[in-house]
């Protein structure tokens, strides 16, 4: 029987089985603080907190109000495929000072919803085992570079450029998804999920080269910083060094890097290695192939040409994830409706489709600018972006 014709879950049953952690998930996905949600359902913030901590269960009428206020089906509040533990998840956001707590909470909730969707799909499709080694960073001297080479070795990557970094990560069990349009204020981020590592990419700048470096940066966090306090300049620098070595290993690229700003040669290297001109210049200086003066002059030239914002040449299409979307397509070909999978995951269908999309969904340019300029928090309800 098609799930669209199943008997709906009774609100009274949801009240008895209510999981407060899923209320917190829905609230953060919607970009609401406790007091804002309390106002919507005519309750106190203390009551909302008690529901989320499972110290008090809401009445059936309150469940219905919460469902309506948050734009989710009452069944969303039933225990899901993954036991959520917010206290055990440490996400690495690029800059904690420039990103509000509300925006980070919303972004992390999106990542946790991704874990739930993945856990549901893994009931029906076999996923690759997660293969991300843990490398303790003892000191800044060579440690990030050693970690990058360890990951290349563990993943048995070939010598030279990595042709499709997203696919390489997915083949080793890393969940890679695009963020929701509402999270445009949050850069790429990562965390160790309850079942497997997760990287959420922000495609707002639509930059193939930036996306690859972002993914390599986040892989650095997953390898080196599982227990580190996120957001510090030190660990962000370590992740950048990891990304540079991972994408452009010293032994494989140093002899190719020009000592002077040979733009033709740099452009050719950019196309082959899948990194930006700026990354190549920085790498050339870091490896001692280019002097500090030459590097600074080259960067000044980049700025004068407007290339720091948009480099010359054709921009390749963003690398696309295939693990989740491919699984959905496989199941759909076997007669399983995505609606059924979304229901099993306990997430709204539009959110399920966003998480399992091969291509990013862009907020219209004007709306994106308005969201960033008029809302200091940068938060818009993820559920508002319905197709």
pLDDT at 137: 84
For the chain, the domains span 6-79, 81-247+316-387
pLDDT at 167: 97
CA distance 315 to 271: 10
DSSP letter (8 states) at residue 78: S
**Which has the higher per-residue pLDDT, 203 or 268?**
268
The owner of tokens 């994408």 is: 247
Q: For residue range 310-328, list pLDDT tens digits in order.
A: 999 999 999 999 999 999 9
Contacts 24+ apart (CB under 8 A), 58-61: 58/15, 58/18, 59/15, 60/11, 60/12, 60/14, 60/15, 61/11
Average pLDDT across the chain, whole number: 88
The fraction of the chain above a pLDDT of 90, given in percent, is 72
pLDDT at 367: 41
pLDDT at 370: 35
* pLDDT at position 366 over 70: no
pLDDT at 1: 35
Mean pLDDT of 176-203: 86
Give the largest CA-CA distance in the chain: 72
Mean pLDDT of 65-85: 90
Split at pLDDT 50, 70, 90, the class of 381 is very low
**Which has the higher per-residue pLDDT, 212 or 99?**
212
Split at pLDDT 50, 70, 90, the class of 153 is very high
pLDDT at 362: 65
The owner of tokens 């008029």 is: 374
Mean pLDDT of 11-37: 94
CA atoms within 13 A on the CB side of 85: 10
* pLDDT at position 298 over 70: yes
pLDDT at 232: 86
* pLDDT at position 279 over 80: yes
The owner of tokens 């080269």 is: 209
How would you class 295 by CB atoms within 10 Å of its CB: exposed for 0-12, middle for 13-18, buried for 19 or more?
A: middle
Q: Which residues contact 376 (CB under 8 A, 6 or more apart)?
A: 100
Contacts 24+ apart (CB under 8 A), 67-71: 67/11, 69/37, 69/40, 69/41, 70/26, 70/27, 70/29, 70/30, 70/32, 70/37, 70/383, 71/30, 71/348, 71/381, 71/383
List the structure tokens of 73. Answer: 């089906």
* pLDDT at position 74 over 70: yes
What CATH homologous superfamily does 6-79 map to?
lambda repressor-like DNA-binding domains (1.10.260.40)
**Which has the higher per-residue pLDDT, 155 or 385?**
155
List the structure tokens of 144. Answer: 């990030």
* pLDDT at position 206 over 90: no
pLDDT at 85: 77
**Which has the higher per-residue pLDDT, 374 or 92?**
92
**Which has the higher per-residue pLDDT, 185 or 65?**
65
pLDDT at 182: 67
pLDDT at 226: 83
DSSP string for 296-333: HHHHHHHHHTTTTTS-SSPPPPPP---HHHHHHHHHHH
Cβ 55 vs Cβ 206: under 8 Å: no
* pLDDT at position 139 over 80: no
Mean pLDDT of 258-276: 96
* pLDDT at position 377 over 60: no
List the structure tokens of 43. Answer: 């309750």
**Which has the higher per-residue pLDDT, 261 or 364?**
261
* pLDDT at position 301 over 70: yes
* pLDDT at position 103 over 50: yes
């Amino acid at each position: 029987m098609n799930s669209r014709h199943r008997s709906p879950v009774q609100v009274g049953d949801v009240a008895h089985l209510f999981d407060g952690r899923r209320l917190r998930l829905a609230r953060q996905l919607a970009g609401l603080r406790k007091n804002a949600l309390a106002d919507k359902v005519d309750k106190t913030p203390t009551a909302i907190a008690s529901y989320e901590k499972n110290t008090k269960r809401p009445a059936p009428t309150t469940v219905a109000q919460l469902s309506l206020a948050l734009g989710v089906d009452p069944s969303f509040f039933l225990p899901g495929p993954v036991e959520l533990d917010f206290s055990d998840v440490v996400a690495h956001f690029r800059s904690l000072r420039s990103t509000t707590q509300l925006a980070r909470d919303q972004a992390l909730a999106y990542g946790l919803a991704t874990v739930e969707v993945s856990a549901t799909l893994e009931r029906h499709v076999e996923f690759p085992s997660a293969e991300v080694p843990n490398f303790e960073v003892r000191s800044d001297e060579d440690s990030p570079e050693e970690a990058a080479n360890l990951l290349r070795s563990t993943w048995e990557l070939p010598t030279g450029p990595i042709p499709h970094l997203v696919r390489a990560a997915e083949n080793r069990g890393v969940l890679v998804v695009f963020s929701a349009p509402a999270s445009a204020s949050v850069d790429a981020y990562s965390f160790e999920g309850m079942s497997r590592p997760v990287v959420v990419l922000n495609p707002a700048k639509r930059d193939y080269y930036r996306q690859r470096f972002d993914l390599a940066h986040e892989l650095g966090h997953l390898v080196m910083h599982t227990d580190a306090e996120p957001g510090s300049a030190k660990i962000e620098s370590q992740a950048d060094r990891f990304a540079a070595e991972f994408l452009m290993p010293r032994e494989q690229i140093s002899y190719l890097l020009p000592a002077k700003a040979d733009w033709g040669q740099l452009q050719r290297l950019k196309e082959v290695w899948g990194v930006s001109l700026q990354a190549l210049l920085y790498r050339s200086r870091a490896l001692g192939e280019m002097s500090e003066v030459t590097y600074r002059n080259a960067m000044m030239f980049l700025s004068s040409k407007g290339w720091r914002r948009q480099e010359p040449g054709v921009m390749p299409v963003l690398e696309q994830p295939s693990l989740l979307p491919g699984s959905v397509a496989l199941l759909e070909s076997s007669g399983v409706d995505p609606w059924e999978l979304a229901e099993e995951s306990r997430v709204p269908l539009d959110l399920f489709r966003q998480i399992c999309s091969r291509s990013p969904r862009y907020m219209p340019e004007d709306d994106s600018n308005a969201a960033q300029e008029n809302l200091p928090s940068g938060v818009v309800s993820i559920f508002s972006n319905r197709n």
